[in-house]
Amino acid sequence: MTTPRTLLTGVLPLLALSGCELGSKASQQTGYRGTGMDQITDVSSIKAAAAIPAPPYPLSAAASTGPRVQGQNIQVLNNLSEEEFGHLMSSISLWVAGDAANCQYCHNPANMADDSVYTKKVARQMLKMTMSLNSQWSNHTGQTGVTCYTCHRGKPVPEYVWSPEKPADKMTIRGQKRGQNTPDANVGYASLPTGVFEEYLGGNAQSVRVAASTAYPGTQPLTTRDAENSYAIMMHVSKSLGVNCTFCHNSQSFRSWSLSSAQRATAWYGIRMVRDINGSHISPLARAGVFPPNRLGPTGAPLQVNCLTCHQGVNKPLGGVSMIKDYPYLRPAGYNSQPRTAAEQGVVRALQQPAAMTGQISPPNAPNKVDQPAR
């Protein structure tokens, strides 16, 4: 006869295991043996890349050499031909409004030059942003590039966006959680802080950096909370790309660039690209009062992007398929990237001279100094 104690002994372990990711796993070695560079994948949770819509109609062979677009108040795309312009407008309607013929989503049909529809102002800025991402941020977007569809996927507002939450009521026991201890998918349902997007991905975000050479550094100015915040944003990056930590890092030393994979540098640029999107393209629209109240978050701040907005669970958005080949003008030719910042130069040196980043081998001409780029 089964006693309650026996039953409890059998059920409790099952309940404990329910918090684990059950099912078969796949392992792929990504580095030298013994360095811990493996990708462990839960096969059942692999997300399929989204289907990519075909262009609304084919362009003629002479589309790019046809007569230039003529019209009033065309501020961004006035270098296109009439055919290219109409083709892109139909494509944007399909990508963002879900209907290639839904021109009125952004335009006043009685006067297409009119700027009274707020979505037209937003679309104009987003076109500037898209061309910037394909040129200035090619260290992250590569030759694949991005279009409006990369994030929107046929929806006016991308599915995955964020905005600062209202502060909790600190006068109650349940409200005083110090920004953590609330189940949140963005941090893997751990007890980690949940409001880290504004701190690390906002327009005025700070670097993600908690690194010490010893267990008790003493002079380390950062706190345990800083470490928790850093771990939380890394959990978000991991979830967004559908990978684990060793996709970018080596567990032997998470801080060492020489032991990291090349994907870490791509992610480094990606985090800064997200900040640029939020700080240089979305926030100015909010400050100008372009967004209506229903497009703002609970604190009145605009809806902003994070890694999940584009990646949506796969390490290469849309499975790495490029849509730019059909819209080459979204990657302006002859663009000269801006001069690299000191931190960017540090990443480049890390990739060119990995041993210099370990702190064990001094780089030439700088025997007493080792550059460590901010993450």
Number of Cα atoms under 13 Å in the Cβ half of residue 291: 20
Indicate the residue type of 20: C
**pLDDT tens sequence across 337-367:** 455 566 566 666 665 655 444 443 333 333 3
Taking only the tens place, the pLDDT of each residue in 275-331 is 999 999 999 999 999 999 999 999 999 999 999 999 999 999 999 999 998 999 998
Q: pLDDT class for 224, splitting at 50, 70, 90?
A: confident
Provide mean pLDDT across the span 17-39. 71
The pLDDT assigned to 157 comes to 96
- Tell me the average pLDDT of the chain: 81
Q: What is the pLDDT of residue 10?
A: 63
Q: Above 80 in pLDDT, residue 34?
A: no
According to the model, what pLDDT value does residue 154 have? 94
pLDDT score, position 360: 39
Query: For residue 238, how far is the Cα from the chain centroid?
Result: 11
* pLDDT above 60: residue 372: no
User: Which pair of structure tokens corresponds to residue 257?
Assistant: 């660039």
In order, the DSSP letters of 123-153 are: HHHHHHHHHHHHHTTHHHHTTT---HHHHHT
Q: pLDDT at position 363, please?
A: 34
Positive or negative, the CA dihedral 264, 267, 269, 271 is negative
Does the structure show a pLDDT above 50 at 375? no
Task: Locate 349 and state its tokens.
Answer: 């040196």
pLDDT of 266-290, one tens digit each?
A: 998 999 899 999 999 999 999 999 9
Sign of CA dihedral 288, 293, 297, 303: negative
User: pLDDT digit string (tens) for 78-110?
Assistant: 899 999 999 999 999 999 998 888 899 999 999
Question: Residue 338: CB partners within 8 Å, gap ≥ 6?
Answer: 136
Q: In this predicted model, what pLDDT tens digit does every residue of 111-169 receive, in sequence order?
A: 999 999 999 999 999 999 999 999 888 889 988 999 999 999 999 999 999 998 887 76
- Minimal CA–CA distance to 140: which of 15, 43, 276, 32? 276
| Residue type at position 187 | V
If you average pLDDT over residues 49-73, what whole number do you get? 89
CA distance linking residue 190 with residue 193, whole number of Å: 9
Six-digit token string for 98: 């879900």
pLDDT digits (tens, 9 = 90+) for 197-223: 988 998 777 777 776 667 776 666 778
State how far the Cα of 75 lies from the Cα of 147, in Å rounded to an integer. 19
